[in-house]
Structure 1
Amino acid sequence: MNKRRTIGLFLLSLCTFLTPLLVQGQESIFGTLPFPPITPRNASNVVELATLGAGTVQTVAWSHDGEMIAVGTSVGVWIYDAPFEPDNRYLLTSATESILKAAFSPDDKLVATISRDQNLSLWDVQTGRNVFTGFHGGVQDVAFNSTSTSLVTVGQDSNMIFWNLDTGAQDMIISAGVGLNAVTFSPDDTQVYGGDTNGDLHVWDIETSEEVLSRPAHEGAIYALDVQPNGGGIISGGEDGVIRLWDVALDELINFIRGSSRVNSIVFGTNSSILTVTRANTPQIWDLTSGDLSQTFDGHDGIVVSAAFNQDASQLISGSTDGTVRIWDIATGEQQMLFEGFTGSFNSAAFSPTLAHIAAGSNSGLIKVWELNNLSNVTDLSGHFGPVTALTFSPDGRILASGSDDRTIRLWSLDEDSEAATVPETFTQEPETTEEDTDAEADTDTGTTEEDTDPFANTTTTQPNQTSDGSESNVLVLQGVTSAVSALTFTPDGRSLISAGADGIIITWDPITGEQKNVYNSSLSDIVHVAFTDNTSVLAAISSNGDVETWNQETGERVNTFSSGSAESFISPNKLILAYVIGRNVQLVELSTQAWLRDLRSHTADINNVAISEDGTLIATCSDDGTVRIWAVPTS
């Protein structure tokens, strides 16, 4: 890295650190003084302290000299410098909206980004400076000319806009009369090609701004275009899954390949190879001469959203919804490097009562646990095979309980001395639940005792699970759950764990043995929250439509049923603040008067869960943008 760029990036990193947008080397959220509880009097002062997580992967790009990789995410663009150490990255720019596409200029001095809020932004790679940001309605694609002197965007507004790279002014606007999804310059930079939503290809002369050719090309929208640098041809792909190779004049269809699904991205490699991104878990390389699929790259557990060749097409990089970015060797198809730390959506979050940890569960089944006193210390807990939809800590903070769509509950030991870590390692297969078992349980209206419960439901497993540092951590797996787990809580004394799910069945578990204590067949469906009221023996269950049912946890009797009006609300422990989830924002209101206090705005996608620490000083929000944001009233 050259000296000028090092200085620029130091200043950029300093500015990023001073603004509470993303945790980059930040050791602790705590200052010298404790945070005050959030109340109606100070709620207007709540600020974001930290953003945990690197966001969801949206796009990847490789610089033309092969020395940089850009990963566009829901929080901004991350840059990796060669030799591409997975932990050696920096945030070129933060974003208030997801980055949908990132592209290096041919001289690698600039990066252009397209964001979900329909903005084009241009960034100086050496200094991190935002050169300009401009609005383009429904912008879909961006391209540089070969000399890095011109930039063009196309969008659903039917416009093709040429931008001044120094001022950000719109030098020229060409109206196509139809929405455009893809654009690229001709090899000599005198023309631009565009692919539209109807499946037609267009050519415009830049000097005259006149359309010189329009022809049908695909059955359905065109999403991807690329031109061979030597002028040998232009390639297109789109909704119909067909890859078509044309001469540069678009007079002749040279060849076509019928793929399996929509082509979202396409780029020329060396010789006759092309790289495509479809709705598959692997990038695909095709031979244009034979029309054969010549190479796939297996390893991603989610849909590949973006891929790119390096400068000599000997390697490729791919980014996926599984939260990973991978570098592959083209010749062997082997994975050479794995970049982790990105995530899918976060569905659930929980603070430990001691404020030692915060945990978040993702759509991929991964759980991330951060130490609040050392945010760079992160543990990944894997084991669930479905989205993690519920999390809760034991009152002493030593056990983390997680529930998932995979119909299991896992108890993780966060302390070597925890009893949950010393359960004998046995393995029992989960029995199948029959329709007769389910019907029999549905006939029961009140709590049942341990003897009355189906013995198959008590099946538990203790398994060693791999953590992010390579060590093994025992976990107690509670099986026999009858539906996806959507809510968890411990009793105040920590002696029982309460779970609930989409089928309305509430189960009380022994967190040490994993055995069921009681089963309550609620009249609610799709329970999303369980919590204890001021009377610690009374358990409240809330459904997705806001209906509430209360139970006496000791006797198993139903106490009351009523409607709260909203399931997307969370009450602070001091009973003063109500937090409403409204899309990607959280609204804080005074519980007694319903008076608005403050909006928490920062996420770039919908919020799925809110967690409030037991002392009422911290709020955590987790979102589809793959981040957890921590909020508090600052002490100074």
Structure 2
Amino acid sequence: MTTRQAKLVSFLAPGGEDRAAFGTSWSADSRWVATRFADGTVRVFEARTGVERCRIAGSPNVVAFSPDGQWLAMGFDKVRAVVVDAATGAERCRMQHVVGTPEERGTSSLAWNGNGKRLATGADDAALIFNAATGALELAFPSGDTRWYPVRCVAWSPDTPGLRLAVGFGSSAAADTQRGLVTIFDTDGGIVMARAAMTGFVNSVAWSNSGKYLAAACGDGSAMVVHSTTGTLRTRLLEPLDLDHQVWGAVFSPDDASVALSGADYTVRLFDAASGAERYRVTHGYAAGIAGFSRDGRWLATSSSGIVVDAPPGTEGGGLVFDAATGKKLSLLGFCVSAAFSPDGTLVAAAGGPSDGVTRVFDPFADQERCRLTHGGPVNAVAFSPAGGQVATASQDGTSRVFDAASGTQGSGQIYSGTVTAVACSHLGRIASGGSGGKVRLWDAATGAVLKELAHGGAVSAVAFSEDGLSLATGSKDGKARVFAGDTGEPRFELTHGGEVGTVAFTRDGKWLATGSADTAARIFDAGTGTGHAVLSHAGPVHHVAFSQDGDFLATASADRTARVFDRQTGAQRYQLTHGGSVLSVAVSPAGLLATACDDELVRLFRLADGAELFHWQIGAPVRAVTFSPDGRRLASASADGTAGLFDPAAGVQILRLDHGLPVNAVAFSPDGQWLATACDDGAARVFTAA
């Protein structure tokens, strides 16, 4: 059997402590991947490029994309659900818990209806249906029983837009409340259509593909199929046993003729949906899950992550693919915690178990491993994209990754060895990032591909493109500023300083280049030739420089606790602004505003003409960088508390707070102002929407 190494298409998140990834979901159009991380965040990535588009904190219990992929719903402990824009993370609406419920439980389940206009949630003793656009509560469906039964699962009928909602109720809190209910509601008329009593609490409900039947898996080891219109029993699949034999999940075959059940007894069993006869069972060496049927219904895949010591002879150790009609083994997937068929049923992806950082893609018909997808830690989940061409994984190494399992074609990968401290975007579709690794990487912004690596003699402190994108300047701890071709990365010249060069900036016409150095001076050079023009003195290291829009003035930020404004032509100082700490960054807007970032934890806004202070914002941690959008309507900041801020300088208000988890070192707007790139101590460069 031959095995090849698959090529990484996208590397979706930085690793690190408490950043294990535990689950991943695709949008229906294969554009977005949402991953839940152990740090309590959900992060949405663009699958093709690996660019992180948004991050939402709050430790959601469950997440789900809308049918069109535009919205992402999340269920929380204190707020029933929140709907956000999948591309930006901007909140669309939120659904609150109902006041007066017997206990405020976290949202345990949620589901979109077929047209994406409604969202059903379950948590307390009622299933609630909300307007997905406004968050308004439309319907509430309690259990209808005198005892309190919390909602354990919700599922819309397969018809579009989904007029019926099945809800599984039940509690395992005490012996006398271990009964359960499955209730089918008419969401158009707001009435109960049918109710079926269960002998145990309901772990899951599954609609048949025709919508005629429902299968229920219960906590007392029982399972049954009921008529969805009346709630009457069609067939009982398993009789009650005890809590040690819970039935976890139920899945109908595509033709509705069979029902597969997975249980706590390490088995997956297949039943005739009409008669209830057990066709066969497959015993696994450890807890087993149903990965699903192939689309044509011929094959069934399972997952299992180990084998117990006292397993009987013949017990299969790992996930399986077998003939759904006969139970005959087709392929052994090995130890896996998750498995999934490709949409066309020709491949199976299996996520390795607790001691295995490998996801394997199999051709089950040839019983052949096609490729391996390697990670730095155990893989928790795996999923094919709806289009079938890619595999997304979630790993305890803190990453979610997207692979092309079929071709192995190299795609984008935003991986950086070391802290990223500087990032810049150009009009020519290039992104430059640099950091402690002593290299600047030039990226293709559309694909995420690395075009060139530019070596330096020390850690890279600053990068900047000229307005036309044809020149790229860098500053390094080796005491040099360098200028490269902005489109190709070809070197042009070096400028030697007396200390670390921590900042570089071009005038808008690209004719002049300014630098700031630890040698307590800012300098102005001819950007075409590298010829020196002026030396501007401070009483401490110069952290940052920025030209005015017309290029006539240069603003500087220094460790001497001042920001200063100089005449570019003569080098004369116009004025200085005293701060409460080291000034780390300055920015000048097209409208003649001057912003500063200071380690006294303030972002300040001044009038450039005379230095008058207009606004200031208390951040709560040293502010490392500020920058204006190209049109001057937005101001962004980067700070040591792990956040980037977005402000409206005209109104003097903060608009957004973008959490990163570790200190943010730099921020940069794209030339059209639609995107904001950030550089963070976790080793990642991220791109957010700024519109």
- Normalising by structure 2, we get a TM-score of 0.37
Give 1 or 2 for the bigger CA radius of gyration: 2
Q: Which has the higher strand share?
A: 2
* Higher relative contact order structure (alpha carbons within 8 Å, sequence separation ≥ 6): 1
Q: Which has the higher helix share?
A: 1
- Normalising by structure 1, we get a TM-score of 0.40
